[in-house]
Structure formats: C-alpha cells, structure tokens
Amino acid sequence: MTGSTRRATSRFFAAGLACALLAACNAPDTDPGAAADVAKAQGAIPAPDLVPRPRTLEAGQGHFTLSDATPMLASGEGAKAEAERFAAYMRDTLGIALAMGAGNEGKGAIRFVVDPGFKADSPEAYRLHVAPSGIDISAATPAGLSRGAATLWQLAANPGAEGRIPALSIDDAPRFAWRGFMLDSARHFQSLDEIKKLLDAMALQKMNTFHWHLTDDQGWRIEIKRYPKLTEVGACRLPAGDAGKDPATGEPRPYCGFYTQDQVREVVAYAAARHIMVVPELDIPGHATAAIAAYPELGTIDTPLVPSNEWGVFPNLFNTEEDTMVFLENVLSEMIGLFPGPYVHIGGDEAVKDQWEASARVQQHMREAGAKDEMAMQGLMVERLEKFLAAHDKRLIGWDEILEADLPDEATVMSWRGIDGGIEAARKGHDVVMAPVSDLYMDYLQTDSPDEPPGRPATIPLQQVYAFDPVPGALDETQRKHILGLQATMFTEHTRFDERLEHNVFPRLAAVAETGWTPAGEKDWADFRQRLPTLLHRYDLLGIRYAKTPFQVQAVAEDDRAAGKASIRLSNPLEYEVRYTTDGSEPGAASPVYDAPLDLQLPIELKAAAFFDGRPLATPQAFRFDADSLLSRTDEQLAVCPDAGRLLLRLEDDGPADGERAIFNVTIFYPCWQWNGADLDGIAALDVRLGRIPYYFQLAHDEPLRSFEPATGAHGELLVHAGGCEGERLAAVPLPAAPEADGFVDLKVELPAGTRGRQDLCIRATGDTRPTMWVLDRATLVPRAR
C-alpha cells in the first residue's frame, strides 16, 4: 500500500463501508466538529486522527463498541498489567469501567497478548486488530502492548466516537529508539503529580525517555544521603527582589524543594510501568553553584557561594581534586541505585574555565595529569566518570561540549548547539541524540502573541518543531545508524507554574513524538495540522493545559487618524481559517471569513476566532480599536532596535511574591525599543511608562557584548530619537532614582515643535543600572490640544 493510500484510509471509516457512507468523503478534513456530527447522524465512525501516525493502517468493515460490559482478557502478568493500565485511562478520561474477564477466548472482548513469536524490529512494535467481534493487541513485549493500548485509547477518545472503534488493522513500530523529553526541575521545582501527568502524556504519545535535569546553579533537587547539605543548603535559594520577601513580614522567603530518594523511586517506577526510561543528570564540571554552596571545598575559589537566584552562564566549576572526583563518584553511586536505566547524563555544557585558569591548584593538577589545556582536563574528568559508570553497567551521555576533548568510544553525545555536534559525534562512531536549541527547545515561545508567558521570544513555532528531522543528510548510511533519536528540552528559568510548563510543552511535544515514531516518508504537516483538533480534545480529557496561543487570532491595526479609520489584519499562527464579526456577536460557522485587511471606521469592536470544520479552536477574542488605543503601543507591540543585540527575553516582574506578575519584552544586552512608523502628525508628546526589575543574569564571556548609553545625569535619562537610534535626538528626560510604590514611573517626553510625519522612534534608558534594569511597559502618543 502506498503512503498516500495509507493517509487516505486512516481518515475515513464507516459502519459497513469504508467511505461511501461519509457525507464528507470529498472533503477529508474531519475533526471534533461538524464532520463528527454528520458522521454520527449517518452511522459513520469518526476518522481516527492518531498522533503519532502509525506505520501502516488498513480500514476494515464495521465497528466495535466499548462499554462497561466489555471484558478484557490477558495472559501473564505483563499483559495483565497493560490491560489494567488501559482500563484506568478509560475510566479516568472516558468514564468507561472495563474489567478483567476470564479465559483467553470469547467474543466481544479486548485481548492483550504477549506473543514470543511476534516478529518485529523493535521491542515497542505492536499489532492492533479491531473487528465487530472483538479487539486484539499483540506484541512481543509488554512495552509493545503498552504502545498498542495507547493507540486504542486514542481511538476510544476520538470525539464523537461514543465508545465505537472503527474496524481496522494497524501494524506499527517506532522509527527511533530514543524519543525523549527533558524536564529541568533545578530552576523551578515540579510536584510528583505534575511529573506523573507529564509521564502519562508521554506514554499516550508513545515517547519513551524522560531526561531529568536535577542539579544546577539554582538548585540541587535529589537527596544524596551521604551528603545531606546538598539538599539542606543546595535545595533553597532566595529569589531576587520582592519575590524573595514575605509580603506580610518583609522577611526573606526562600524558594526550596527536592525529591527524597523514595520519591525518586516512585517517579522511576511510575515511568517504568509506562515503559519510559528515566535518565538522571548530574551536571559537571559547570552548573555547580548549588553543590559548591553546600560543600565549598568542591569549588576553586574562597568566596562563599549560595544557590543562585540569577539565570545564565556562571563561572563556578567543580575543582579537579581527587577528593572532588570521589565526591562525584559517591553521588553517582547513590543515583545508580535509584535509576535502573542504562544511561546517566553528566552534563558537560557551558563550563567557563576562568576559575580553573586562575587557580594554581588546578593548573598544577593539570600538569600532573598531562592535560594540555582546561578542556582536556574536563575530558579527563569525563573519561574517569565514564569508566566508573561502565563498571556499574551504565553508559555515559553528555551535552555536545564533551566532544571538545578526547571522548571514550562508548560515550553518547546529546547535540544541543545545533546538529553539528551530532554530525561530528556520529562520524567518530558515537551514538547521538539530537536535541538542538534551534528547533526542539520548549522554553522558546511558540508564537509572537502578547498572551505568551515569560520565556525566550525567539519563537520556535509548532511547524518548525514538526519539520525537524534528526538524521542529517550529511551522514552516510553507516553513520546514520548512530542517531538514536531526538529529544525535546524544557529548561524552566522562566516557568514558575505548572500551567506555564504545560503551555510551553503542548502541543509541540506531539510533533516531537510523531517525528520519533512515524516513518519519515509518512510525516505530513498538512495532515498533522488537520489531526490537531482531535489531539486537543484528548488533551482536555487528560487535563493538560496546552497552549491556546497557536489556535487564537492575532490582530494588528494600522491607523489612518486623518480619515478616522484603521486597516486591521487578522491572522492565526497555524493558518487555520479565521472568521470574525463586527456587530458584537460571537463568530460562528456562518460568520465572514477573513481573507484581506479590513478597512473599518473607528471606533470598532471586532471579535474573531480560528475555525476548523465549522468549530472554533479557542475561545473567540474581542478586539477594540479607537482613536486612543491606536496611539498606544505595549512593549510586545514595539520592535527590537536593529542594533540592540541578540538576546531578547520575555521577562517577569519580581513581584508580587505570589500570583501573576507583569511581563516585559526586553533585550538585556542593550535595552532599547523602537516604534516603527509612528505617525507624529499633530503629536505634542510621548508618554512612556517604565518599570524596574532585578537584573538577574550571568553572561560569562558574553558580558562584553552588553552595552548601554552613558548617563549624563545622576540616575540616567530616557532618550527618544526619530529616524532610529542613530537619527535625530528628540528629547532626553531625567530618570528618577527609583520608580513609584507600584514599581512603575510615567514620564512625559515633550517633542520639538515641527515634529511630524511617520518616524521610527527609538526609546532607551541610559546608564548601567545593575542590579536592576528599566523595562518599558507602554508608550503613548499625546496629540496637541485643539
């Protein structure tokens, strides 16, 4: 069967006929909307929008109906465990209470079969056969049964199915052995319930590796009984600014959290039951501040340290002493006892060597060890830990910086600085996991919507995640075999809440899951986009708070004040159909479809939503445009100044201590905002609302790239230029020593008489204000009085 045929048959099923009974047979966009209603009315079964797409799928005749009376049959403990787990998912998400039956035969049953004779190229392969008389899931291993049960759950959770599963046969197996997700619990701490929720979502999308980032500069999160100070000291930090103060008393309020060894075992067991391998990470020699704060003798400087409340790249490294290596081996010994999987991650990234270069002890040790430079010394540490792990039947894996020194043949490389490290490693014979920051980092925002949470605004949209392929064309066939798979990465510097975590991860993790499982030739972005609405329905059943921003509408208005009109452009990040209204009603399937900018008289209230098959994908949004609103721009609506540097961040205020906080877009290397094409005709002044937040960044060797305009006054000035930052200076207004009690200050910038026309306004604050920084909240044009 050809790929195109498989794509077609995976979308159409009917009771008794594969396609003839479907009214929408000539329009293959089915989802939880109108098509499902038509299918229900005509007796058809909604198409199984499976994610990831299976390797092969054949449509059958008729359907099977699941109900509380459906027995499950399983032979052997492994099969029985998978059946019971499937029953739990069905009960918790769909309210169908399945129970174990007796025997191995019988019509109307779901049979879970571990078949030693099942031939497949992966232990996760499975076969799913659905007929009106019953359902069979078979595999060589319980892991395969688990993946088949995930597919069956998706079929049952298809909107409009009402327990009816279309007759079909699926033969399926993963493309890659490593289909991973990394969670950073060091920067922000997650509860066991949240981690289990993520593991459930991974399992139901057939992902199999959970990389757990447990140690970093900001926190040590795993109990090590031999070294109790790692959690007594290293698991707590004092957040910067108001966030670190008790709002009632003003006393310091630390941010703390760690996982006991029993809790780690609980997570590992929960993952193992879902056939997910847990890979712990102990980061060396850098990202070590929390550990050195607990045990100062592990470091290279005499200055006492505390777990950091800042983000970025730090100079603090473990030293190279024998006692420190013994410490690391002792820590690994306890971790090995907690994590039965074959891999242990030792980090190796962003280890700035300044302290080693300045340390006479380290330099002497390097000479004794025969290390030609500091990177070679790191390589010797990696080599020693690799031998230690190998002696305990473990494999070492590290970030791609470990390639910069001689690397043991058995070491595995995780390529994060793009794919070049992975290419180099594969050519040298090392196994590789592709996890490039450019495509698979979930802390990068997924749209440019102002509703995105804090993070890195250099966006990685869902389309880009889906398009990534972990096998570079530069590798030959032998080298490609070293690509184990791919991994999504979620660092949590800016992710205080579980809801934000889920927003960042979903639905992008589904794109990673499909790339890891589905044959490359079967991936199809257009088809994946049409399966997304059904996937969102399943996320709702699981209680996953996925990102709504990709499914919302964005509106941008260009004003024509002289005519009292505005040209309004609507868009959806995933290019779903946009419908709108201008009469105050909610947009529906009969509302106008947006296809060109709307030239509307002001004021205007507009409501819009993205639609798929006649149903909105998110709550319709209301936009109001009037003469006053078009004179104002928030920081999200302003552009980055062309010479403002490369590190744009979406940052959160430091207060209040609890709850939601203001969010600001700012380039921390050169804070500067630009209002491109501001219409200054008839404008007398510019009102600028500034906030001030802690400057909580360590830039290491990037520090020289940071710049600012020199201050001439005591506290600096607010500069406004026309024609860009190199153009005419319109004004310089003195800045106050501090903002008002609410954390903001409003400054009025009088513009010179005769200022007119459309200008690119450059707005900057002068001076180096660290340890705080000014951020722009809003800029507003003030018309001349009439």
Average pLDDT over residues 156-185: 95
The answer on 157 and 221 residing in a single domain is no
Tokens for 307? 């777990």
Residue 560 and residue 455: Cα distance in Å, rounded? 34
- Angle at CA 492, nearest 5°, toward 535 and 259? 100
What residues have CB less than 8 Å from 536, skipping those under 6 apart?
507, 546, 551, 617
Name the E strands within 214-358: 215-216, 219-220, 236-237, 255-256, 277-284, 311-312, 343-347
The pLDDT of residue 458: 81
Q: Are residues 81 and 66 in the same domain?
A: yes
Tell me the C-alpha distance between 683 and 671, whole Å. Answer: 25
CA torsion sign, 111 to 114 to 117 to 120? Answer: positive
Per residue in 29-87, pLDDT tens?
A: 334 444 444 344 334 455 689 999 999 999 999 999 999 999 999 988 999 999 999 99
For tokens 């001349």, name the residue. Answer: 784
Q: For residues 263 and 228, is the Cβ–Cβ distance under 8 A?
A: no
349: nearest Cα among 443, 417, 420, 440: 417
Please state the rounded mean pLDDT for residues 290-299.
98
Spatial CB neighbours of 265, under 8 Å, sequence gap ≥ 6: 338
* For residue 660, pLDDT beyond 70: yes
To which residue do tokens 């008790």 refer?
246
Cβ contact 47:30 at 8 Å? yes
Residue 28: is its pLDDT beyond 50?
no
**Degrees (nearest 5) of the Cα angle 64, 70, 71?**
125
- Asked whether residue 384 falls in the same domain as residue 261, the answer is yes
Tell me: do 266 and 409 sit in the same domain: yes
Split into its structural domains, the chain has a count of 4
Of the residues 172, 204, 225, the one at which a domain ends: 172
Rounded to an integer, what distance in angstroms lies between the CA atom of residue 671 and that of residue 766? 9
pLDDT in tens, 297-346: 999 999 999 999 999 999 999 999 999 999 999 999 999 999 999 999 99
- When mean pLDDT is compared across 187-201, 229-243, 404-418, 446-460, the lowest value belongs to 446-460
Query: CA angle 451-456-461, nearest 5°?
Result: 70
561: pLDDT confidence band, cut at 50, 70 and 90?
Answer: confident
What's the CATH number where 139 sits? 3.30.379.10
Question: Residue 723's pLDDT is what?
Answer: 94
Residues 503 and 556 in one domain: no
Q: Which of 172, 192, 226 is the last residue of a domain?
A: 172
Same domain, yes or no, for 581 and 650?
A: no
**Closest-CA residue to 109 (of 72, 156, 62):** 72
> What percent of the chain lies above the pLDDT cut of 90?
86
**H-helix segments, 205-288:** 229-232, 261-273
Q: What is the pLDDT of residue 103?
A: 59
Instruction: Check whether 14 has a pLDDT greater than 50.
Output: no
**pLDDT value of position 727:** 94
* CATH number of the CATH domain containing 570: 2.60.40
134 is in which domain, residue-wise?
Answer: 3-172
Report yes or no on 546 lying in a domain: no
In a domain, 223, yes or no: yes
DSSP letter at 117? T
Q: Is 484 exposed, middle or buried (0-12, 13-18, 19+ CB in 10 A)?
A: buried
Q: Tell me: the pLDDT tens digits for 125-153?
A: 999 999 999 999 999 999 999 999 999 99
Positions annotated as catalytic residues are 350
| Among the listed residues 143, 117, 113, the one whose alpha carbon sits nearest the alpha carbon of residue 128 | 113
* Encoded amino acid at 75, one letter: S
Tokens 């592990």 appear where?
Answer: 298
Q: What percentage of the chain carries pLDDT values higher than 70?
A: 93
Both tokens of 131, joined, read 């007929």
Does 523 share its domain with 659? no
Same structural domain for residues 384 and 336? yes
pLDDT for residue 104: 55
Confidence of residue 548 (pLDDT cuts 50, 70, 90): very high
**For 473-515, how does the pLDDT look when each residue is reduced to its tens digit (9 = 90+)?**
999 999 999 999 999 999 999 999 999 999 999 999 999 999 9
pTM of whole model > 0.85? yes
What torsion do the CA atoms of 153, 544, 458, 311 make, to the nearest 10 degrees?
-120
pLDDT in tens, 355-386: 999 999 999 999 999 999 999 999 999 999 99
| Average pLDDT of the residues in 276-303 | 98
At 41 the pLDDT is 38
Q: Tell me the CATH number at 401.
A: 3.20.20.80
Mean pLDDT of all residues in 156-169:
91
CA angle 418, 389, 353 (to 5 degrees): 50
Residues 594 and 733 in one domain: no
The number of helix segments (H) and strand segments (E) in the chain equals 19, 39
* 547 assigned to some structural domain: no
Q: Are residues 71 and 201 in the same domain?
A: no
Q: What is the pLDDT of residues 183-202, one digit of tens each?
A: 999 999 999 999 999 999 99
DSSP state of 441: B
Instruction: Write down the pLDDT at residue 562.
Output: 77
For every residue of 128-170, DSSP letters joined together read EEEETTEEEEEESSHHHHHHHHHHHHHHHTSTT-TTEEEEEEE
Mean pLDDT is lowest, of 50-59, 281-290, 637-646, for 637-646
The band of 559, judged by pLDDT with boundaries at 50, 70 and 90, is confident
Q: Where does a domain end: 154, 172, 190?
A: 172
Q: Give the pLDDT confidence of 86-131 residue by residue, as tens digits.
A: 999 999 999 999 999 875 556 899 999 999 999 999 999 999 999 9
Q: What is the mean pLDDT of the chain?
A: 92
At residue 576, φ and ψ (nearest 5 deg) are: -75, 160
**Does residue 5 register a pLDDT over 60?**
no
Residue of 649, 646, 633, 635 lying closest to 457 (CA atoms)? 649
Residue 464 neighbours by CB distance under 10 Å: 16
pLDDT of residue 16: 30
Looking at the structure, tell me whether residues 258 and 347 fall in a common domain.
Answer: yes
461, pLDDT greater than 70: yes
First to last CA, the chain: 75
Residues 491 and 587 in one domain: no
Q: Report, as an integer, the average pLDDT of 272-285.
A: 98
The answer to whether position 206 is within a domain reads yes
663-693: buried (b, 16+ CB within 10 Å) or exposed (e) per residue?
bbbbbbbbbbbbbeebbbeebebbebbbbbb
pLDDT above 70: residue 15: no
Contact of 750 with 685, CB cutoff 8 Å: yes
Cβ atoms of 421 and 413 closer than 8 Å: yes
Cα(403)–Cα(387) distance, rounded to whole angstroms? 17
Q: What is the pLDDT of residues 713-736, one digit of tens each?
A: 999 999 999 999 999 999 999 999
Taking 70 as the threshold, does the pLDDT of residue 646 lie above it? no
Query: CATH number for the domain including 681?
Result: 2.60.120.260
Burial of 773 (0-12, 13-18, 19+ CB in 10 A): buried
Which helix (H) or strand (E) is 463 found in, with range? helix 462-467
User: C-alpha angle 325/331/333, rounded to 5°?
Assistant: 105
pLDDT at 385: 98
SS3 label, residue 778: strand
